[in-house]
Structure 1
Amino acid sequence: MINSFDIMETIKMIEDEHLDIRTITMGISLLDCISDDINAVSDKIYEKITRKAENLVKTGEQIEAELGIPIIHKRISVTPISMIGAATDATSYVPLAQALNRAAETCGVNFVGGFSALVQKGFAKGDEILIRSIPEALATTDLVCSSVNVASTKAGINLDAVRMMGEVIRETAELTADQQCIGAGKLVVFANAVEDNPFMAGAFHGVGEADCVLNIGVSGPGVVHSAIRRAGDCSINEVADIIKKTAFKITRMGQLVGSIASERLGVPFGIVDLSLAPTPAVGDSVARILEEVGLECCGTHGTTAILAMLNDAVKKGGVMASASVGGLSGAFIPVSEDEGMIHAVQEGALHLDKLEAMTAVCSVGLDMIAIPGDTPAETISAIIADEAAIGVVNCKTTAVRVIPAIGHKVGDELEFGGLLGSAPVMDVHPFSSAKFIHRGGRIPAPMHSLKN
């Protein structure tokens, strides 16, 4: 039974603490769109997405109005396009990206993810074509997001793919330099990518998923921050318990919205991803949670320990609330999207190396970080390799979404607006990693990958 206290508490979370459903993401399989003619594939992709997602936005808006719960984004994820394009003789998959963009515009969604490839162990026919298509695809579309999985605990790290992605990220930023290099902000490089992630830019519809499924992404950094602040002085295990209880309540809300949307759309309900995904708004920051626990400024000593506790408590609370918790679920630390992270960078407390250490214990990785525009492609590749190694060795998802700020230097700022916020340009090491990156080949999987 829902009592009046629960109702009033939820209203307070929404009105004062930035609680929201960050996204309803419909995953759509495109395997039945395969053809040997790329124009036919484009037409089939457009037709299937617009048919399946025709009522997605309308349904989300109806639920938002009825329950009074903000649903910020409505999104679509699709089967990795490298698989869909492989049957054609096309040398570029840009037409498929443009078909995705047209479908997204018709449906009225905010983003469509899945211009993706999975190359952790090597390249299939369509993979390299897709990767080389990414810069033009993201420069000529507004709503398409792209991801490439270059490593996994079972396969190791594909260093050839890592090298290519450093080059692709630079080229993508250069082609969108007149738009604050936003193309690179729609591109993420993964290790251990998950198949049911509702969050962009890394969402894609895994081949093990149903033909169509609905995933929910819930976010509530402000709620967690307020709960800790109200508790005052207490032990760290009491703080962890507060976070678990708060995460439980947030997840239940996501379960409710997902169940209603699934029933109305006639689509199976997939997972609730409880991720503390911040926004640039004051009071909606993961960094400020860490500071409320006891840091003078995010990035100082103790940051990684508190973030580890936060991430674990969020997952435990979510699992207690729903049998369908999935995706990434935990704490995100995107610099441009978190007011507290931006402040920590500006204060000189938070650096790229510290962010890398933090990614060993949080949900994803180096996210929405602007780096100097003259950063060599090999340095970007080396950043990806370091992050992939953390994921591979620790059996967790890690990712890199860095934005070479073409024409900008350390201390400058890129302005994206909306949920993407603004990114202060952060310093990178000046020493070269080129010889390592150009060795190529594959870094073998760790010994503990042999679990069969």
Structure 2
Amino acid sequence: MLNMTDIMETITMIQDENLDIRTITMGISLLDCCDSDIDKSCEKVYNKIYNYAKDLVKTGEDIEKKYGIPIVNKRISVTPIAMLVGASGGDPVQYAKTLDRAAKDVGVNFIGGFSALVHKGFSPGDKKLIESIPRALSETDFVCSSVNIGSTKAGINMDAVKLMGGIVKAAAEETKDRQCIGAAKLVVFCNAPEDNPFMAGAFHGPGEPDCVLNVGVSGPGVVRAALAKMPDDADLTEVADMIKKTAFKITRMGQLVGTEASKRLGVPFGIIDLSLAPTPAIGDSVAHILEEIGLEQCGTHGTTAALAMLNDAVKKGGVMASSNVGGLSGAFIPVTEDAGMIDAARAGSLSIEKLEAMTAVCSVGLDMIVIPGDTTPETISAIIADEAAIGMVNSKTTAVRVIPAVGLKEGEELDFGGLLGNGPVMKLHSKSPAKMINRGGRIPAPLQSLKN
């Protein structure tokens, strides 16, 4: 039973602590839209997305009004488009433009799934789609792209890693007149989940139902505010317990919204992704949580330990509030989207090496990091390989979303505005990994993949 204290606490979280539902994302299978004629296939794709998602935005807005809970984004994820390209043999960009038109017509913020799953090799449509990504992202507004290049079971496809270094660089070049936004809408994964509601990496996995609704909650500000009320001498066990209790409250709200939206739209409720997703707004930062725990600034020694505790406590608290937890679930550390991370990167406290260490214990990986515009494709590939290795060996999702800032050098800043934020160009090593990257082949799966 809800009591007045619970209600007032939730109102405070929303009004003063930036609590929101970050996204409701409708996943739609397009497998039945395959056709040897790409024009017919695209027509089926548009019609299916429109028919399922035409009421998604209105439903989200109605729930916002009913409960007073902000739902920041309404999004769509679809079957990896490379699967359709393999059947039609046409130009993948035609699919991207169809997705973009459907997204605009139903009113969502983003549509994800211009994707390929190549962790064990390339199937007929994969390489064709991957090579079209820079053009697809430059000629559309709302389409997001992802490529899974490795997994714990399969190892790392280094041919795909090599290819993706050039694709990331080309995506930035193609959109250099728009703050290199193409690279900000492209994620390279290891162990990509099939039910992730967050962009830019969302796609609707082949094992998912025909249509499903997934919810991504947020709330870094709520966690930080709860910790700020604790005495400075509270031990870390007490701190972890407070994070668990707060994550429970945040996730419970997501469960309410997901259940209601599912019922209204007549589609199954999939999962809650209970990740702490920051924004550039002051007071909505994962870095500030780490500083509230006791670090002078995010990035200093102790950051990885504090983040590991935060991530674990968020999962333990959130999983008690819902039986349908999935996606990424934990704490995100996107540099340009987090006010505390931005400050730490500007001050030099936060380096790409420290971020890489942090990715071993958080939800995703190297996310929204601005790098020098003259970074070589081989260096980008090596960054991807390093992150994939962390994910592969630790049986967790890792990802890379780096933005080569064309024309900018270390210390200068790129500004996307809005949710994607802004941040300084971060320093990278100058020594070349080209010989290793150009070897290609596969890094074999680790011994821990043999679990049967």
Task: With the length of structure 1 as denominator, give the TM-score of the two structures.
Answer: 0.99
Residue type at the aligned position of 2:113: G
Counterpart-to-counterpart distance in 2, 1:413 and 1:277: 22
CA contact (8 A) 2:112 2:145 kept: yes
Counterpart-to-counterpart distance in 2, 1:280 and 1:415: 11
Counterpart-to-counterpart distance in 1, 2:170 and 2:406: 10
Deviation at 1:424, TM superposition (A): 1.0
Deviations, residues 100-139 of structure 1 (Å, cap 9, x unaligned) = 0000000000000000000000000010001001000000
Residue type at the aligned position of 2:19: L
Counterpart-to-counterpart distance in 1, 2:287 and 2:89: 48
1:73-112 map, 5 Å: 73-90=73-90, 92-112=91-111
Aligned partner of 1:247 in structure 2 is 247
Counterpart-to-counterpart distance in 2, 1:379 and 1:347: 24
- Say if 2:212 is the partner of 1:182: no
Aligned partner of 2:147 in structure 1 is 148
1:21-420 map, 5 Å: 21-90=21-90, 92-233=91-232, 234-420=234-420
Counterpart-to-counterpart distance in 2, 1:428 and 1:342: 17
Counterpart-to-counterpart distance in 2, 1:232 and 1:342: 27
Query: What are structure 2's unaligned runs of at least 5 residues?
Result: none
Counterpart-to-counterpart distance in 2, 1:77 and 1:56: 13
SS of 1:415's equivalent in the other structure is strand
Counterpart-to-counterpart distance in 2, 1:238 and 1:132: 50
Aligned partner of 2:423 in structure 1 is 423
Counterpart-to-counterpart distance in 1, 2:132 and 2:38: 14
SS of 2:87's equivalent in the other structure is coil
Deviation at 1:232, TM superposition (A): 2.0
Counterpart-to-counterpart distance in 2, 1:224 and 1:34: 45
Query: What are structure 1's unaligned runs of at least 5 residues?
Result: none
Residue type at the aligned position of 1:427: K
Counterpart-to-counterpart distance in 2, 1:213 and 1:194: 15
Counterpart-to-counterpart distance in 2, 1:425 and 1:45: 39
SS of 1:18's equivalent in the other structure is coil
Residue type at the aligned position of 2:451: K
Counterpart-to-counterpart distance in 1, 2:153 and 2:89: 31
SS of 1:209's equivalent in the other structure is coil
Counterpart-to-counterpart distance in 1, 2:180 and 2:260: 38
Deviations, residues 39-76 of structure 1 (Å, cap 9, x unaligned) = 11111111110110010000000000110000000000
Counterpart-to-counterpart distance in 2, 1:299 and 1:399: 19
Residue type at the aligned position of 2:272: V
Counterpart-to-counterpart distance in 2, 1:113 and 1:57: 16
SS of 1:86's equivalent in the other structure is helix
CA contact (8 A) 2:75 2:111 kept: yes
Counterpart-to-counterpart distance in 1, 2:100 and 2:263: 27
Counterpart-to-counterpart distance in 2, 1:242 and 1:89: 54
Counterpart-to-counterpart distance in 2, 1:235 and 1:320: 23
Counterpart-to-counterpart distance in 2, 1:197 and 1:303: 26
Structure 1 residues 224-233 or 67-76, which shifts more? 224-233
Structure 1 residues 226-235 or 354-363, which shifts more? 226-235
Deviation at 1:263, TM superposition (A): 0.2
List structure 1 segments (4+ residues) > 2 angstroms apart after TM superposition. Answer: none
Deviations, residues 328-386 of structure 1 (Å, cap 9, x unaligned) = 11000000000000000111100000000000000000000000000000000000000
Counterpart-to-counterpart distance in 1, 2:259 and 2:85: 33
Residue type at the aligned position of 2:143: V
Aligned partner of 1:19 in structure 2 is 19
CA contact (8 A) 2:89 2:125 kept: no
SS of 1:149's equivalent in the other structure is strand
Counterpart-to-counterpart distance in 2, 1:98 and 1:298: 40
SS of 2:5's equivalent in the other structure is helix
Deviations, residues 177-208 of structure 1 (Å, cap 9, x unaligned) = 00000000000000000000000000000111
Structure 1 residues 22-31 or 34-43, which shifts more? 34-43
Identity %: 71
CA contact (8 A) 2:36 2:88 kept: yes
Residue type at the aligned position of 2:315: K
Counterpart-to-counterpart distance in 1, 2:448 and 2:419: 38
SS of 2:88's equivalent in the other structure is coil
Residue type at the aligned position of 1:93: P
Deviation at 1:423, TM superposition (A): 2.0
SS of 2:105's equivalent in the other structure is helix
Residue type at the aligned position of 2:36: D
Deviation at 1:431, TM superposition (A): 0.3
Deviation at 1:231, TM superposition (A): 1.1
Residue type at the aligned position of 2:55: N
Deviation at 1:88, TM superposition (A): 1.4
Residue type at the aligned position of 1:40: K
Residue type at the aligned position of 1:224: V
Counterpart-to-counterpart distance in 1, 2:39 and 2:417: 35
Counterpart-to-counterpart distance in 2, 1:326 and 1:347: 35
Residue type at the aligned position of 1:162: V
Q: State how many pairs are aligned.
A: 451
Counterpart-to-counterpart distance in 2, 1:85 and 1:59: 32
Residue type at the aligned position of 1:65: K
Counterpart-to-counterpart distance in 2, 1:307 and 1:317: 15
Counterpart-to-counterpart distance in 2, 1:220 and 1:182: 26
Residue type at the aligned position of 1:261: A
Counterpart-to-counterpart distance in 1, 2:187 and 2:41: 25
Deviation at 1:89, TM superposition (A): 2.4
